[in-house]
Structure 1
Amino acid sequence: MTDQSRTLAKADGLAARNRIPAAAQLYRSLLTQPAGSPEIAARAGLGLAILAARQGNMAAARNAVREALQRDPALLDGWRLLADIEDRAGRADAALDAARRIADLAPVDADCQIALGYAATRAGALGIAERAYRRALDLEPGSAAAVNNLAGVLQQRGRAGEAAELFQSIVADDPTNARAWANLALVREMLNDLGGARDAAGRALSVQQDQPVMRLLLAQIDFREGKPAEALDAVETLIAGAADPTVLAEAINLKGHLLDRQGDYDAALAAFKEAGARRRTLGARAGVDRRRYMAELRRAAAVFTPKRLTGLAAEEAPAGTAVAPIFFVGFPRSGTTLLETVLAAHPDLVTSGERSPLQMLRPEIARTAGPSARYPDIVPDLPAEAIGRLRALFAEIAADEFGATLEGRRLLDKLPLNIVELPLVRRLFPNAKVIVALRDPRDVCLSAFMQHFAQNDAMANFTDLGATAALYDGVMGLWLRYRRDLRLDHFEYRYEDLVRDPQAVLGPLFEWLGLAWDSDLLERRGEVAARHVATPSRDAVNRPITAGRVARHRHYARALAPLMEILSPYIAEFGYERVD
């Protein structure tokens, strides 16, 4: 053993005993030796990254592990740590890139395939995830983790029946598998089989009582079945004893919805504020930073000046260009899922369900840009060769994700915050049609604030009302600029008009899309929603279309009053009641 190896072993031992300063000093000494081994230096850098992560300094951990991987690109544990750091920070595409390296370095390791499947699932690359989990099962038949995760992917790919069958097969073989019962309960609830979900949750709890996620699910089922008193009792009990901070935050958020439904708006607002504060703390611990997303919006505003947008608008699609995808965007909680279920019922359309191929292009765009360029600076200057490659990659991803269902049908790429990416859409697909959902800015901000979103840099802005309004201003300010200067072939509609008179919106929309309108689509949308709606809107879209949630903001006028300076211009611009 060399002196360096002995020093590394000593540092690892100190780290294992949680003697962090002493371990860090030894790791750093290994990084400063000019004639040292790159592999040992890489292990030392990884040690520093692990120490930083243990102390909650995820930015330092990320920098340290990246430096370690530059020294030794074959450092498998380094890629594992980087994938975990990127995932915790909500950078799903970066986590997926790291997971690909893990699988490449250990192609016959089932755990590495499972890691790839997990990261691909988080990034929305469900085709990659399914193949990874099936590969894991080839390598390790019967792997419970691979089977459970594969079932989850099938569920998200709109094959919820297959997912339920997989979970059902697990519990048939092993009725004591609490995790499989719990997963079966969750998928049944997403399938809107509330009775089946309740039964499976009960079986999960009979095997393992300490499952707060299942107790929360039972409260949610009570809420959805119109039993608010039972749901509130269950939530209060859960809040009093919950140790899991994520479950606690979601339980408090559900309490807010129950109080809102009872008309106790002040108490509801207090619950939503507490839930938001808890989500914000959880996100910060994971390295999520809402300021990063706001900085991206400011960057987009700086890059896409009126002059630059006008230049992009002058580009035309080459002759013979294939029919472009349809893009469906809007501010989150604008009711996009409701319209998507109608569109998904049309035989000539395939909808993405927020698995956006456009978003999956970001890593390739970053590689095209190179390390010195920043996104979205490169978008106006993408060379023709890169545009062609990105279009081909988009088609490849779409085929991978949606398979044979795309044959002879048009793809609707739906992800609300792709509204920020419309200059990229204009560059790649000049002939694309864009549907833009609008909703009263007061209602949409309130609804986003009240929603328990998984935390990433964008969604972290919904943890308080002020940040939500600032995000709305940043996003919809860009939309007004794009609408004016980018010459998009777009159809803008208001959620309130859709719920008050569906056919008045849907008839012109389908005519603009060049698709036959059939009033039976309104009936068939229920079948689509019943199969699986993965977004938080799944309860609402299963009910008949009504205007019951319009003008909800009136109950929270005092809380929204400080935001009116930001929101009033948009309220007027989009034709809502003016605010004095």
Structure 2
Amino acid sequence: MQSGNTRSRPAETVLAAATAQLATDPAAALAVAEDLLASAPDLLPAQLLAGQALRHLGQFDAAVARLSALAALAPTVPAVRWELAQAAVAAGQPEVAITALEQLTRQLPAVPGGWFLLANQYRAAGRARDGWLADLKGVNAATQDAELVQAALAMQQGKLDDAAALLVARRVRAGDDPPASRLAAEIRWRQGDMPGAIAGLEAVLNQAPGYDMAREFLIRLLVQSNRLPDALVHAELLATSPVDNPGHDLILASVLVHLGEQGRARDLYEGLLARNPGQPQVWQNLGHVLKTLGEQAGAVTAYREAVTRQPTLGEAWWSLANLKTVKLGAADIAAMEAALAALAGQESPRAEDLFHMHFALGKAHEDLGESQAAFRHYTEGNRLRRAGIVHDADAFSAEIDAAVSTFTAPFLAARRDGGCPAPDPIFIVGLPRSGSTLIEQILASHSQVEGTMELPDMMMIASRLAARVEAGEFADFGSMMAALTPTDRQRLGEEYLERTRIHRKSGKPRFIDKMPNNWQHVGLIRLILPNATIIDARRHPMGCCFSAWKQHFARGQGFSYDLVDVGRYYRDYVRLMAHFDAAAPGATTRVVYEEMVADTETQVRRLLSAVGLAYEPACLEFWRNDRAVRTASSEQVRQPIFTDGVDHWKAYAAWLGPLGETLGDVATLYPAVPASLSPI
């Protein structure tokens, strides 16, 4: 642009045209600015343009010098501070950038970009805490962003594609920023893209490490994905936030519980309660941890503290009732009835408080020998819980049909080679309330075996494989399994061992995975871990199913809240296990609960032999083992075997007709497998 042309037009017009050239021809923009300043040295817009052009040309030190001088002349012009900050960042002069951005954010505190850039410069200068606080101020400023509010509202209304489109348009126009990226990650999560959501949140935290709410969300998704070590790293970092938020300790404690670090979780809960004892939920959480650690008296105290502070907290009442060695009395029943009345008076009582309360009342009446009242409350608790559960018994039976059709004797024989050869895992499978915790405690008392918990990893691997069928990659379950090469199967077995390694803390060569639902995946286990041990824990179907039906489970087991559903589930279980007995003899070892109770030493010796372990007397004194136990039977396995529960269901036989009819010959011929379910 010629100087004559510059001087023949209004300065505003010339400046606008040159500014538009900054990105494509900064040298020309600089020439225009210098030409204007030659005749008007005090023209501030031209001085700003010169500084911007120098930055775009990569002459960062010159840009800083020019813009610093301009900032002294025009201290109230935000654009000058912003340009100076960006030039100083590019020049590697964080202190200059910090000074400019501190002044800018005082002047314009509602502009998020200034806070996020300031946060980065604080970190570059080694001021991590100040950077964290600046990130949080940027997040707070973003709550006033009308476009983000509009996108968030669309997301909350379920208009996920519309919300995503709004964010894309915003990014094209204004670039990326941490709050918009966090919202985009949540939209991906709601759309079912868990990996994309996690990757998005990780990118957000690379931009803004002090974005606590994004880190909280990421931890939740990592736990859901069973990436517990990663979740722990983020939870421990979150706990160091300069914001005094007790919720951060609660998040860390939750991750520790998932990892089996019950002692550390207890310390956190006790610390929170020492500072503020009026927290019923924290008392309840402390009770859960103490129960797992075998500190029953402490657990009782904690649960009673919870219901004293919040009498309608149904889960705390149920947790107290669910301590199998604790009996609730008339005073407890009166308190729970009063709490139910209070919940009935609420406009929208929480369903979980209601059904937990009914399960607890059922157990309280059961303890008093009042079977009819107990059954009435169990029925209502199950009715309420079933209403919120998605379980399709027909679809589940079809899945078992597919497994039976796939894992035939020729199919398994043709795949003897492949898979991970490690013998480490001992899978205890079956139905909940089948005596599996007793078997686990016996085995975990052996010097070569470590007890862990109900690990979700095999189920997650199986779900990922099933998703390939749902996505149309394979025609059906059988073709997907047939497509797994020996290398694939070895990789999957090694993946399982790697995923579960975090739970192995003792260095013992064998470990237990007590996830009962893994009976559905016996075929997969045989393919990817051919030398693993599988123990089938079996109990009389009437006793097992009734016990599961009157037990509220923290998660999963959606089949257990209806007597017909649980009966059908048991029949499917017997059918599949009978199939493997025929297709792969010796693939599983069955332990019958009633036989274990009647002749414990003989059955313990048989069990150890099946696992390939030498007999050790400690296995007969399993109740002396003080390891953490997270299941509903945690108190029962801390005392010698008793026989009271074997025929307990008979006191309720008058009301168990639907269950008995559904089970049919599975119940009448137990422990034999009826011909109707035996392989043809």
SS at match of 1:106: helix
Does the alignment pair 1:134 with 2:236? yes
Q: How does 1:355-434 map to 2 (within 5 A)?
A: 355-362=455-462, 364-365=464-465, 371-373=471-473, 376-377=477-478, 378-399=480-501, 401-405=502-506, 407-434=507-534
Deviation string 1:355-403 (CA, Å, 9 cap, x unpaired) is: 243123246535766821467442232123322321221121122x224
Match of 2:633 in 1: 537
In structure 2, the CA distance between the partners of 1:343 and 1:117, relative to structure 1 (3 Å rule), is farther
CA distance in 2, matches of 1:174, 1:226: 29
CA contact (8 A) 1:326 1:413 kept: yes
Distance 1:545 1:102, change over 3 A: farther
* Structure 2: runs of 5+ lacking an equivalent: 1-146, 344-348, 675-680
Report the Cα distance in structure 1 between the residues aligned to 2:184 and 2:300, rounded to whole angstroms: 42
Which range moves more in the overlay, 316-325 or 517-526? 316-325
8 A Cα contact 1:222 1:230, kept in partner? no
Q: Residues 200, 258 of structure 1: CA spacing in aligned structure 2 closer, same or farther, 3 A cutoff?
A: closer
1:553 to 1:210, Cα distance in 2 relative to 1, 3 A? closer
Quote the offset at 1:446 in angstroms.
0.7
Q: 1:255 to 1:577 in 2, by over 3 A?
A: farther
Find out whether 1:167 has 2:269 as its counterpart: yes
Give the alignment's TM-score, normalised by structure 1: 0.76
- The partner residue of 1:249 within 349, 355, 359 is 355
Tell me the alpha carbon deviations over residues 223-269 of structure 1, each in whole angstroms, 9 at most, x when there is no partner: 84334323322322222223332122111111112222333222222
Residue 579 of structure 2 corresponds to residue 477 of structure 1: no
1:239 aligns with 340
- In structure 2, the CA distance between the partners of 1:322 and 1:147, relative to structure 1 (3 Å rule), is same
**Which residue type is aligned with residue 271 of structure 1?**
H
**Which amino acid in 2 is paired with 1:234?**
A
Equivalent position to 1:453, from 547, 553, 578 = 553
CA distance in 2, matches of 1:204, 1:254: 15
- The 8 Å contact of residues 311 and 336 in structure 2, kept in 1 or not, is answered as no
**2:280 is equivalent to residue 184 of structure 1:** no
CA distance in 2, matches of 1:64, 1:413: 44
Aligned residues: 510
Q: Once the 2 structures are TM-superposed, how far is the Cα of residue 514 of structure 1 from its aligned partner?
A: 1.8
1:81-120 counterparts in 2 under 5 A? 83=189, 97=195, 100-107=198-205, 108=209, 109-120=211-222
SS of the residue corresponding to residue 617 of structure 2 reads coil
1:285-340 C-alpha deviation (Å, 9 max, x unpaired): xxx4101x651441341353177453124422459933252221012221111211
How many angstroms does 1:63 deviate by? 9.7
Rounded to whole Å, the distance in 1 between the matches of 2:661 and 2:322 is 39
Q: Determine the C-alpha separation between the residues in 2 that align with 1:182 and 1:307.
A: 44
Task: Say if 1:515 and 1:303 are closer, same or farther in 2 by CA, change over 3 A.
Answer: closer
Q: Percent of aligned positions with the same letter in both sequences?
A: 23
Structure 1 residues not aligned, in runs of 5+: 1-40, 53-60, 87-93
Greater Rg, structure 1 or structure 2?
A: 2
Distance 2:420 2:643 in 1: 43
Q: Which residue, 521, 540, 561 being the options, matches 2:619?
A: 521
Does residue 560 in structure 1 map to residue 668 in structure 2?
no
Contact 2:228/2:259, CA 8 A, preserved across alignment:
yes
Deviation at 1:494, TM superposition (A): 0.6
* Correspondence for 2:37: none
Structure 2 CA distance for partners of 1:415 and 1:194, relative to 1, 3 Å: closer
Name the CA shift for 1:575/1:247 in 2 (closer, same or farther; >3 Å). same
Letter in 1 for 2:232: E
In structure 1, what is the Cα distance between the partners aligned to 2:468 and 2:241? 35
Deviation at 1:125, TM superposition (A): 4.7
Taking structure 2 as the reference length, the TM-score comes to 0.66
Aligned-partner residue type, residue 503 of structure 1: E
- 1:290 paired residue number: 391
Which of residues 311, 326, 334 in structure 1 aligns to 2:434? 334
Does residue 311 (structure 1) correspond to residue 411 (structure 2)? The answer is yes
Contact persistence 1:80–1:98 (CA under 8 A): no
Equivalent residue for 1:216, pick from 306, 314, 317: 317
Return the alpha-carbon distance in structure 2 between the equivalents of residues 312 and 335 of structure 1.
29
Contact kept in structure 2, 1:324 and 1:429, CA below 8 Å? no
CA distance in 2, matches of 1:348, 1:66: 53
Name which structure has the greater RCO, CA cutoff 8 Å, separation 6+. 1
> In the TM superposition, what is the alpha-carbon distance from 1:51 to its structure 2 partner?
2.3
- 2:384 alignment counterpart: 278
Measure how far apart 1:436 and its partner are. 0.3
Partners of 1:234 and 1:412 in 2: CA distance: 40
